[in-house]
Amino acid sequence: MVQAIETEKLTLAYGDAIIIDELDLSIPKGEITVFIGGNGCGKSTLLRSIARLLKPKTGAVLLEGKAIAKMQTKEVARQMAILPQSPTAPEGLTVLQLVKQGRYPYQTWLKQWSEEDERKVDQALAATGIENLKDRPVDSLSGGQRQRAWIAMTLAQDTEIILLDEPTTYLDMTHQIEILDLLFELNEKESRTIVMVLHDLNLACRYAHHIVAIKDGKIFAQGKPEYEINSNLVKKVFDMECEITFDPLFGTPLCIPYGKGRRIMKQAGLLHG
């Protein structure tokens, strides 16, 4: 299998605190990979390092076989786009102005805005279904609309690889599914390599071809969700007891956590309303 991104003995740290420890990772090309794990396990830190936003303490990140640290910034930006967690735009910036920022890697002193840039921006607006919002200020949009605008910017960047850090954070259920469906379609139709951090294990299982479970700065398990996700993994990685069954619509693993809550008895006469 062709790998889009690899890490070799990658160690990441903030000061003296080791977050990721000598991690070897392979992310398959043309698939959706999702990082899962408990809070503070290093998921977002790993994603930032892959995007060259965080310098490794030791080890390397390889982008299609090339050491990313040795590549020019614009060269990286033409191959890989990142949408960080909870991005913010300057007050008053319109959707169109935001999306145009995705074309920055292609601008030079000799090559300014072109018809190709215009076409890519129009395609990104259409793909995310926000053409009618292009003149609206970004800060006037709903959460779901705003997230679509940021995704449109990453699409305008026209990269084969898209990294997203918790793209569904703060979104309601409807908008979570809309955003993940959009990313799924991009992968299906255009074979984009998509790498995401997600907190919702059930959504991760539904959308990921390849799942990476991280615990204490190391890979606990990786592979297809249907082969890797089980109650033992959830206990070890999330410290949570659960039952794993199958999603009745998609057949993917479905996590049902133990815990306190109402127990509705199905015996006749005990159900009301």
Q: How confident is the model at residue 171 (pLDDT cuts 50, 70, 90)?
A: confident
If you average pLDDT over residues 77-101, what whole number do you get?
Answer: 92
What distance in Å separates the CA atoms of residue 183 and residue 176, rounded to the nearest whole number?
Answer: 11
Tell me the mean pLDDT in the region 72-76: 91
Residues 161, 165, 167, 168, CA torsion sign: positive
pLDDT at 272 over 70: no
Q: Which of 1-10, 74-83, 248-257, 264-273 has the lowest mean pLDDT?
A: 264-273
Cα 45 to Cα 76: distance, rounded to the nearest angstrom: 18
* CATH 3.40.50.1860 at 1-79+160-241, yes or no: no
Residue 233 has pLDDT above 60, yes or no: yes
Per residue, the 3-state secondary structure of the chain, as one string, reads CCEEEEEEEEEEEECCEEEEEEEEEEEECCCEEEEECCCCCCHHHHHHHHCCCCCCCEEEEEECCEEHHHCCHHHHHCCEEEECCCCCCCCCCEHHHHHHHHHHHHCCCCCCCCHHHHHHHHHHHHHCCCHHHCCCEHHHCCHHHHHHHHHHHHHHCCCCEEEEECCCCCCCHHHHHHHHHHHHHHHHHHCCEEEEECCCHHHHHHHCCEEEEEECCEEEEEECHHHHCCHHHHHHHHCCCEEEEECCCCCCEEEEECCCCCCCCCCCCCCCC
**What was the pLDDT predicted at 270?**
53
pTM (predicted TM-score):
0.90
Delimit the domains of the chain by residue range: 1-79+160-241, 92-158
Give the pLDDT confidence of 30-48 residue by residue, as tens digits: 999 999 999 989 999 999 9
Separation between Cα atoms, residue 272 and residue 264, nearest integer Å: 10
Residue 52's nearest CA partner among 66, 34, 32 is: 66
For residue 119, the model assigns a pLDDT of 95
Pairing of strands 253-257, 58-63: unpaired
Confidence of residue 113 (pLDDT cuts 50, 70, 90): confident
| Least confident among 78-87, 115-124, 181-190, 257-266 | 257-266
Q: Return the pLDDT at 88.
A: 87
* CA–CA separation, 53 and 143 (whole Å): 25
The percentage of residues in the chain with a pLDDT greater than 90, rounded to a whole number, is: 73
Q: Give the pLDDT of residue 271.
A: 52
pLDDT in tens, 242-268: 999 999 999 999 999 998 888 776 555
Structure confidence at residue 20 as a pLDDT band (50, 70, 90): very high
The sign one gets for the Cα dihedral 224, 230, 236, 241 is positive
pLDDT of residue 85: 85
